[in-house]
Amino acid sequence: MLLLCGSGALLCAADLDTARTVYVLSMSRGLDQYLANRLTNGHVLQVVTDPKLADVVLTDQIGERFQDKLETISPTPQPEKPAVPAPAKDDKADKAEPEAAPNPFLQEPENKVAPAGGMSSFGRNKGTVFLVDAKSRQVLWSTYDPPKSGIAKELDRTAADIVNRLKKDLKRK
């Protein structure tokens, strides 16, 4: 049992080791700016401003809204569909009556309202920061460190603590 737990930790650490570039999403109270500063100055990860160049994404929320944002930033590649050959022209088909228009009552409405942001507590940040793999969408690392207040000095201290924990975990093997 202990061997299985240890190997799971190693697999997660290996994923974390592949992180070189990070895109930092906007966070509450502007914590993202302090994190980007600390990540850059500490040479922990290279902060990129183009999310398409990022190996990982740093965020303070996960859930449906985060998935939507991630899909907007970096859409999940769709498998290629095989080309369907065009049907052969038939003289009888040209003489047939045109197809009837689809029933408008059976179609999706054009002005359909999107569902509300969901009732998940994941969207409400209470001090947790997540490092998510940009391609696999897996959470590779997280930590909990709520700022005591919204003043700049406290946000910078919180960012320093978070980045130090990440740096320490990146060095583990």
Helix axes 2-17, 152-171, angle to 10 degrees: 120
pLDDT band of residue 18 (cuts 50, 70, 90) is: confident
Using an 8 Å Cβ cutoff, are 20 and 46 in contact?
A: yes
Q: Assess if residue 117 is contained within a domain.
A: no
> What is the extent of the structural domain holding 150?
2-74+123-171
Residue that is written with structure tokens 């793999």 in the block: 133
| Average pLDDT of the segment spanning 127-131 | 95
| CATH classification at residue 147 | 3.40.50
Kindly report, residue by residue over 56-71, the tens digit of the pLDDT.
999 999 999 999 988 8
Lowest mean per-residue pLDDT among 38-42, 73-77, 118-122 = 118-122
Assigned domain for 48 exists: yes
Read off the tokens for 162: 């978070």
Share of the chain above pLDDT 90, in %: 53
Is 7 in a helix, a strand, or coil? helix
Asked whether residue 148 is assigned to any structural domain, the reply reads yes
Q: Residue 132 falls within a domain, yes or no?
A: yes
More confident residue, 151 or 9: 151
Between the alpha carbon of residue 146 and those of residues 31, 41, 87, 131, the distances in Å are 11, 22, 62, 16
Nearest-angstrom CA–CA distance, 69 and 74: 9
Asked if residue 51 has pLDDT above 90, the reply is yes
The predicted structure's pLDDT at residue 78: 76
Helices (H), the chain: 2-17, 31-41, 64-73, 91-95, 152-171
**Per-residue model confidence as pLDDT tens digits over 136-146:** 899 999 999 99
The residues that bridge with 36 in the sheet, in sequence order, are none
Of 77, 69, 30, 32, the residue nearest 51 (C-alpha): 69
Spell out a b/e string for 121-139, using b for 16 or more CB atoms within 10 Å of the CB, else e.
Answer: eeeeeeeebbbbbbeeeee
| Tokens of residue 97, six digits | 């009556």
Q: Is the pLDDT of residue 3 over 60?
A: no
Please check whether residue 107 lies inside any domain of the structure. no
115 within domain boundaries: no
pTM recorded for the entire structure = 0.66
Alpha carbon distance 52, 133 (integer Å): 12
Check residue 157 and give its pLDDT: 97
Average pLDDT over residues 164-172: 93
Count: domains in the chain: 1
159 in a structural domain = yes
